[in-house]
Structure 1
Amino acid sequence: MTQDEPTQPIVPSTPPPRMPPPSWVPPTVQSPPHQWAPPPPPPAPRHVVPRGRVPGWIWPLVCGLALVVGIAGGAIGGLVYEQVRDDGSGTVLSGLAGVDTVTEAPLPDDNGSIEAVAARLLPSTVQISAEYQGQKGGATGSGFVLDRQGHVITNNHVVEDADSDDGPIEVVDEDGNRYDAEVVGRSAVYDLAVLSVPDARGLVPAALGSSQALRVGEGVVAIGSPLGLSSTVTAGIVSALHRPVTTGSTGDDSSYINAVQTDAAINPGNSGGPLVNLRGQVVGVNSAIATTGGTASGESGNIGVGFAIPIEQVRITADQILRTGKAEYPVIGAKVKTGSQVDGDGAEIDSVLPDTPAEDAGLEKGDVIVEVDGDRVTDGIALIVAIRAHQPGEQVDFTVLRDGDQRTITLTLGSETG
């Protein structure tokens, strides 16, 4: 700074004075509530699931799974009920199709060992003891395990008296274990019965074979409890096939069978036990023996002529009994002569009942039936057996001799229960 420049005093700056607030402020204008809303939040990205919410695609999946589970549960429940009803009757809604049977042969085709057959079948064969009229062991026979549900096959004549008097029935296995049994159903006509043994479900079912595949001279084994001697095995051959016999007393036409004849030793107590081929399959149910006075279900001993119900008939009757507790058999509604009157030239009609298939088809008293579906008929017993080889509702052709003329009469078989 030079001397000729005037000096200026330094004056501190002061802030401008504050203006007083205005005495009047215009009011704030607000929109009515219905005309204003806060702005919506931005939408969430599609790949992000908002917390606390379930994606919409989950519900169809849950419903579908619930439907599948419901159907599966219903099917399983239905299957359980289908197998064996809970009413204690032992019946099965779908018959043999609803139980676990065995058909595969346990032994090879070339097996020739009786020992091997016995080893396979003895665990499946049981002794049956029935009590009636206050006496235990009043009826003693044999049987075999049909399936894994605890059903046992035996003869009707083994259990019919105990069943009619509601007597207890016991089944004894190879090891001597005893189980209570009850009759599911029985057929006097075919001399068969099905027992239910719920506590014996662990027993091994016997394999079911075919009697139609048998040949005369083929080896067979009979297993049972003859004279009360359990787990007895005898062996022999097939002596004849399609042998019409009765399992009742002589002249009793209530039970005729188209039997497999064998010379394997069969004695009282063998009734109901299995007749087995050398592959270890049941081909028949031992039911009767020949005596010097005729054929009987078992009063005297073996003379080398025994008879078994073919397994095919056992399957049919067991299936019916398992379904309903009863068995049906075919009838024509006519009576035929049996016994000493026959001469081997056919079955003579003794009478025709009204409103029956025989009357509807035109059969008459005195007609002689010589063939059924082309198979020769020699007498009344052969005719009964031939008819019972069919099922109710089937159409059958009868070749009939009437007044020296031969004609064919077709009729539809009726049915009865028994």
Structure 2
Amino acid sequence: MSDDQERQGEVPDPHGYPPPVPASAPVDPSWAPPSGPLPPAPSYPWADYARPRPPQDAAAPGSHSSGRRPQGRRLGIGSALLVLLLGLGGGFGGSALYDGLADNEAAGPYAGGLEDVETVELPPVKIGGVQAVAKELLPSTVQIVAELEGQAGGATGSGFVLDKQGHIVTNNHVVASAAQDGGTIQVVDFGGTTYDAELVGRSAVYDLAVLLVPGATDLPPAALGRSEKLRVGDGVVAFGSPLGLTSTVTAGIVSALRRPVTTGSPVDDSSYINAVQTDAAINPGNSGGPLVNLRGQVVGVNSAIATNGGASGEAGNIGVGFAIPVEQVRITADQILKTGEARYPVIGAQVRTQGETIGSGARISEVNSNTPAQAAGLEAGDVVIEVDGLRVTDGIGLIVNIRSHQPGEELEFTYLRNGEQRTTTIELGSETG
């Protein structure tokens, strides 16, 4: 989870599950939704941890709209948490699903992406439980220390070794301030050795970053698994440096899959995450650390926690944490290694993300000119209720669904126009971010 910036968002669910509690903390599909009618997710009477805001247009990554989400409370010990908020208050925000197509790709260090570096796939643990997993993964887990608004070491988080070339995966929000200001980023390994790190590339949209530590090629890479093989109830282990306590291990289960989580703050773009939810203890400082299955394979990147706030304003673990699925980590890391930047799919429309009844679908508020959405015949006022057979209950669910695919894919959209159900096929566009 994050320790460098305050962020805020909402956690509705396109599959009818109850949304998580109001959340905080900076933190991506083979699971099939349940059959039959799905009830709308209930709301919860949590405290006003972040104050309601009036109607506005909140811009998502890649949009030039000026609206922004309000900032949450800053935590102590030099850390800040992303706030994930259930829709408290009124109004609606519009999130951009498109902002044009980029034609040129930047040059990255490896033309073949992940194929050109030495990653590990085989599970290191057969039998042994949490103790065996901890023994294998701790040497592959690192602490990240980065400048925050000019303050050395103001941002701390976690990460894991991606390959034998010395690349490290972490959250974008851990290093975003240092990246923007040219600040120092350092990596501390399991043995306590500190290395200077270089930023290879980052994605605000998926809240991921790839670092390079040239002098750490002897660090063992973590084995990469598949979150798509997870089932609710499976055991998982979280690694990281919560509250500055390096090499911390916590264990729990998979609480939910494909949980839509949106994050954002006034100082950066929003991130929409199709998250793995877990009750393994995650706290500030865990951001960017690996979530691992009981075979010792990384299945996600710890990125956010839910919290009810509390009178003190401090946020901590209440058993509701979120991790970015490792499938998205593979895709984003591959893009960054190839080109130095990451891309995400877009359709070319604005969608309401607040003020709509969960379960009613995603209402399109605007369709941009010369975009995939316009070419497919979508219009303002249309309500998207399904994408490629997967039910959509609200705007955030639609964004998360789209961003779990790749640019160039063709998806079938089912939508309502004046009460009449229609379908259309959209080829996803592309944007950098």
If the TM-score is normalised by the length of the shorter chain, which range does it land in?
0.7 to 0.9
Q: Does 1:368 align with 2:383?
A: yes
Q: Does 1:125 align with 2:141?
A: yes
CA distance in 2, matches of 1:134, 1:351: 39
Change in 2 beyond 3 A, CA 1:299/1:196? farther
In the alignment, what sits opposite 1:300? 315
Q: Tell me the TM-score normalised to structure 2 length.
A: 0.73
SS at match of 1:336: strand
Q: Does 1:158 align with 2:183?
A: no
In the alignment, what sits opposite 2:340? 325
**Alignment-mate amino acid for residue 335 of structure 2:** Q
Write out per-residue CA displacement over residues 94-123 of structure 1, whole angstroms, 9 at most, x where no aligned residue: 100000000000011xx3521110000000
In the alignment, what sits opposite 2:355? 340
Change in 2 beyond 3 A, CA 1:113/1:273? same
SS at match of 2:228: coil
CA distance in 1, matches of 2:323, 2:226: 13
SS at match of 1:162: helix
In the alignment, what sits opposite 1:95? 113
Q: Is the 8 A contact 1:247 1:287 kept in 2?
A: no
SS at match of 1:138: strand
In the alignment, what sits opposite 1:405? 420
Q: Is the 8 A contact 1:268 1:299 kept in 2?
A: no
SS at match of 1:371: strand
Q: How does 1:383-402 map to 2 (within 5 A)?
A: 383-402=398-417
Q: Is the 8 A contact 2:204 2:269 kept in 1?
A: no
CA distance in 1, matches of 2:415, 2:309: 32
Q: How does 1:265-280 map to 2 (within 5 A)?
A: 265-280=281-296
Structure 1 residue runs of 4 or more that deviate by more than 6 Å after TM superposition: none
Aligned CA-pair RMSD? 1.8
**Alignment-mate amino acid for residue 166 of structure 2:** G
**Alignment-mate amino acid for residue 309 of structure 1:** I
**Alignment-mate amino acid for residue 347 of structure 1:** A
**Alignment-mate amino acid for residue 346 of structure 1:** G
Change in 2 beyond 3 A, CA 1:348/1:317? same
**Alignment-mate amino acid for residue 406 of structure 1:** Q
Bigger Cα Rg: 1
CA distance in 1, matches of 2:422, 2:238: 43
Q: How does 1:22-61 map to 2 (within 5 A)?
A: none
In the alignment, what sits opposite 1:8? none
Q: Does 1:107 align with 2:109?
A: no
Tell me the number of residue pairs that the alignment of Structure 1 and Structure 2 aligns.
324
Report deviation, 1:293: 6.1
Q: Does 1:359 align with 2:377?
A: no
In the alignment, what sits opposite 2:8? none
Q: 1:134 is matched with which residue: 150, 153, 156?
A: 150
Report deviation, 1:134: 3.2
In the alignment, what sits opposite 1:310? 325
Report deviation, 1:246: 1.7
**Alignment-mate amino acid for residue 423 of structure 2:** T
CA distance in 1, matches of 2:316, 2:224: 28
**Alignment-mate amino acid for residue 160 of structure 1:** A
Write out per-residue CA displacement over residues 345-401 of structure 1, whole angstroms, 9 at most, x where no aligned residue: 210001101111001110001101010000001110100000001111111100011
Q: Does 1:380 align with 2:398?
A: no
**Alignment-mate amino acid for residue 188 of structure 1:** A
Report deviation, 1:248: 2.9
CA distance in 2, matches of 1:132, 1:270: 17
Q: 1:194 is matched with which residue: 206, 210, 221?
A: 210
Change in 2 beyond 3 A, CA 1:112/1:346? farther
CA distance in 2, matches of 1:202, 1:415: 37
Q: 1:207 is matched with which residue: 207, 212, 223?
A: 223
In the alignment, what sits opposite 1:177? 193
Q: Tell me the TM-score normalised to structure 1 length.
A: 0.75
**Alignment-mate amino acid for residue 289 of structure 2:** G
In the alignment, what sits opposite 1:6? none
CA distance in 2, matches of 1:105, 1:387: 31
Which has the higher relative contact order, 1 or 2, with Cα contacts under 8 A spaced 6 or more apart?
2
Report deviation, 1:124: 0.1
CA distance in 1, matches of 2:269, 2:191: 38
Q: Is the 8 A contact 1:99 1:147 kept in 2?
A: yes
Q: Does 1:221 align with 2:219?
A: no
Write out per-residue CA displacement over residues 329-350 of structure 1, whole angstroms, 9 at most, x where no aligned residue: 0000101111233432210001
CA distance in 1, matches of 2:309, 2:357: 18
**Alignment-mate amino acid for residue 98 of structure 1:** D
CA distance in 2, matches of 1:293, 1:341: 25
Q: Is the 8 A contact 1:240 1:262 kept in 2?
A: yes
**Alignment-mate amino acid for residue 133 of structure 1:** E
CA distance in 2, matches of 1:268, 1:373: 36
Report deviation, 1:93: 1.4
